[in-house]
Amino acid sequence: MNAQVQDVAKPAVTGSGTSLRSLADWVESVAALTRPAAIHWCDGSDAENAALIAKMEADGTLIRLNEETNPGSWLHRSHPDDVARVEHLTFVCTSEQDDAGPNNHWMSPADGHAQMDALFEGCMEGRTMYVIPYCMGPIESKIARCGVEITDSPYVVANMRIMTRMGAAALSRIEREGGFVRGLHSTGELDPNRRFIMHFPEELTIKSYGSGYGGNALLGKKCHALRIASHQARQEGWLAEHMLILGIENPQGETHYIAAAFPSACGKTNLAMLIPPEGYREKGWKVWTIGDDICWMRPGPDGRLYAINPEAGFFGVAPGTSAKSNPNALATIRKNTIFTNVGLTADNQPWWEGLDEGQPVIDWRGNDYDCSRGPAAHPNARFTVSAKQCPSYSEHAEDPTGVPISAIVFGGRRASLVPLVFEARDWTHGVLVGAAMGSETTAAATGQVGVMRRDPMAMKPFCGYNFADYFAHWLSFDRPGMKLPPIFHVNWFRKGADGRFLWPGFGENLRVLEWILDRAEGRAGAVETPIGHLPRADDLNLDGLDLDGAALQTLLTFDRDGWRAEFDSLGAYLDEFGARMPQALKDEHGRVVSALGR
C-alpha cells in the first residue's frame, strides 16, 4: 500500500483465515489502510449467507419480497446515482500507456495506487471488512482462475456467492496454487465524484471505490473475468470473451455449442435461454444454457476451442424480460433471487417494464409510482440468480474441460445495412468482422442511449489491453494443428421503413442458428458477397414463420454502396491504433474494400 497508515487497535477477526502467507499479509495491509471494525473470512456456507441476509434485512439493505410468489427473494435499491457501469471512470493502469491502448482510459500504476489508496484510507471505519475467496469456473477446471475480493458491502458478498464458486473450496485451491487476483472494493460514500475502478493487469490487481453497482462492485465479474482475465489469456494462450455459450441439440441427439458476443442489453440472456419454436420442439430440438455473459476458451489437445462459463449465476437485465422474450429467465428468477432497482406491486412482487402481469405501486427509488416521473424499474435494473435454477441449464456447464465450440457468432444492434446473418470467409476475415462490430448504446453504461459506436467483439468496455494487440492475439490462433470454428455475424435488430423490427427474434432465432451449424458442418448453401457468405431465402428453414417476402429480402440484402461507406469508417477506426494494428488485419480490410469496388 502506498498511503501512510495509522496504528489502530486490531479489528476482531471471524472465519477460518488462511495458511497462505501472501494472502494473509495482503489482508493485514488492507486492514491497516482501511481500518475496519471487524474482519470476516467468508466460507460460503448457508449459515453465513443467512446471517448476512438477516443483517441486511434489519438495516434495510434488502427488502423481503412476497414469500408465496417469490420465495427466498429480495429487493435492493441502489443510490440513484449508482445504477450502471462508469466507463469514463474505469482505468487500466499499465507501465506503458500504449499497452492499455486508445480503447482504455490509462493511468500509471504509481498514480493509480496513490489515488485509490488515498480514497481507501480509513474508509471502513465502523464497518466489517469481508474477505471473499472465489473461483471463476468449476473448481477443478484447469481453465478456471481464482481471486479474492475484499469489500465492506454485505450485498456484494451475497451476490458474489451466487455469481462465483465462493468460499472454502475456492480458498483451498488458492492455497494450493499460491496465486490469485486481488480485488479491493469499498462503497465509500457513494459519491459520484469519488468513484473510480482501477485495474492493474501486470499485478493482477483491481481497486474499486465509491460504487455498489454490480458491474463496478462484483469484482469477479467484468473486472476479473474480462479486464484482468483478457490480460492473463493473452499471456497464457487462451481467450477471455464477453460471450454467451449455448448448446443446440438436434433431433438426432447431437449437441453443438456456440459462443456468441453481443454488447450488453442486446439479447445475450434471451439467446442463451432460447426456447425453440413449436415446430422445432415437435421434431426434438432442444437448447441448453451454459452461460449468458462470459466465455473463457482454450485450445484442446484436438485443436478445437473448449469453453467454460466462469460464472455460476446470472446478473441479468430485468426490464424487457417477459413470458414472450425469455420464459426460461422468468422461471429461473421465481425464487432465491436478488433483484436490484425494480419496482414493486401492492403485494410486494418485483415488477419491471415488459412484464405481462401485475401493476407497480412503488418505483425503483422507493417512491409511489407515477408514470409521469419515469419508469417503475430502472432501465438497467438487474436480477442475480444461480444458473442452476434455469430450466435449460446444462450439466455440462460444470465440465472441467469445457465444451467444444462449433461456431463463434458476433452481433450488434444495427437498424440498417447489416444483414440478418452472414459467415466470414475464414478466420482472419472473422477477426475483422468481430473488430468491425458496432451497436447502439444501451442503459448498461452511463451516457446517451441509442448512439452507434464501434464495439469490437463486444469488448470495448472490457478488454484489459490495447485492442491492436487483442486482434493480434485472436489472429495468432490460426496456426497449424488448430481446428478453429467458423465465424458468423448476426443482426436481430434490422428495421423497416416504418421503424419496426423486420425479424421476429426470440425463439425464431434458432432458424438462423440452424443455418449457422449446418454451414459449420458443410450442409447448407449460401451466396458469396464481398462481406461474406449470406444465406438465400431457400437456405433458411422458414416453415411456419409469418414473414413477408419484402421483409425477408431486406434482411438478406447486401447493399454494396452502404458497405463501401461502412468500410471507409472501419478503416479510419483501425488506423486509430497506429503501427500496433496487425498488418494481416489491415490487409484483410484492403481485400474487402477491393472486392467492394468503387
Separation between Cα atoms, residue 245 and residue 309, nearest integer Å: 7
- Tell me which of 585 and 264 has the higher pLDDT: 585
Is 7's pLDDT higher than 80? no
**Type and span of the H or E element at 182:** strand 181-186
Separation between Cα atoms, residue 546 and residue 503, nearest integer Å: 10
Is 248's pLDDT higher than 70? yes
The 10s digit of each residue's pLDDT in 30-76 is: 999 999 999 999 999 999 999 999 999 999 999 999 999 999 999 99
- CB within 8 Å of 428: residues ≥ 6 apart: 475, 478, 584, 585, 588
Mean pLDDT calculated for residue range 67-87: 95
**Would you state the cell numbers that stand for residue 528, as one nine-digit string?**
458469396
What class does CATH assign to 240-311+394-557? alpha beta
The 10s digit of each residue's pLDDT in 293-320 is: 999 999 999 999 999 999 999 999 999 9
- CB within 8 Å of 558: residues ≥ 6 apart: 419, 529, 530, 531, 534
Task: Give the ranges where 60-191 is alpha helix by DSSP (H).
Answer: 97-100, 109-120, 154-163, 168-177
The 10s digit of each residue's pLDDT in 133-154 is: 999 999 999 999 999 999 999 9
Q: How far is CA 114 from the centre of its chain?
A: 29
Mean pLDDT calculated for residue range 274-298: 97
Mean pLDDT calculated for residue range 152-180: 98
**Would you state the cell numbers that stand for residue 311, as one nine-digit string?**
460464472
Predicted local confidence at residue 441, as pLDDT: 60
The pLDDT mean for the chain works out to 95
Is 11's pLDDT higher than 60? yes
Give how far Cα 590 sits from Cα of 429, 593, 595, Å. Answer: 11, 5, 9
What count of residues does the chain have?
A: 598
Based on the residue annotation, tell me whether 295 is a catalytic residue of this protein. Answer: no
Is 598's pLDDT higher than 90? no
Is 8's pLDDT higher than 60? no
pLDDT band at 263; cut points 50, 70, 90: confident
Predicted local confidence at residue 2, as pLDDT: 47
Predicted local confidence at residue 267, as pLDDT: 85
Is 83's pLDDT higher than 80? yes
The 10s digit of each residue's pLDDT in 350-388 is: 999 999 899 999 999 999 999 999 999 999 999 999 999
- Superfamily in which the 12-61+87-236 domain is placed by CATH: Phosphoenolpyruvate Carboxykinase, domain 1 (3.40.449.10)
Separation between Cα atoms, residue 251 and residue 285, nearest integer Å: 5
The 10s digit of each residue's pLDDT in 419-450 is: 999 999 999 999 999 999 987 665 555 556 65
Active site residue: 42, 146, 223, 266, which one?
266
Predicted local confidence at residue 415, as pLDDT: 92
Is 131's pLDDT higher than 50? yes
CA atoms within 13 A on the CB side of 110: 2
Predicted local confidence at residue 85, as pLDDT: 87
Predicted local confidence at residue 428, as pLDDT: 98
Full DSSP string of 232-289: HHHHHT-EEESEEEEEEE-TTS-EEEEEEE--TTSSHHHHHT----HHHHHHT-EEEE
- Superfamily in which the 314-389 domain is placed by CATH: Phosphoenolpyruvate Carboxykinase, domain 2 (2.170.8.10)
Predicted local confidence at residue 439, as pLDDT: 79
% of residues, the chain, pLDDT over 90: 93
Separation between Cα atoms, residue 319 and residue 321, nearest integer Å: 5
Domain boundaries, the chain: 12-61+87-236, 240-311+394-557, 314-389
Predicted local confidence at residue 393, as pLDDT: 98
404 DSSP β-pair partners: 306
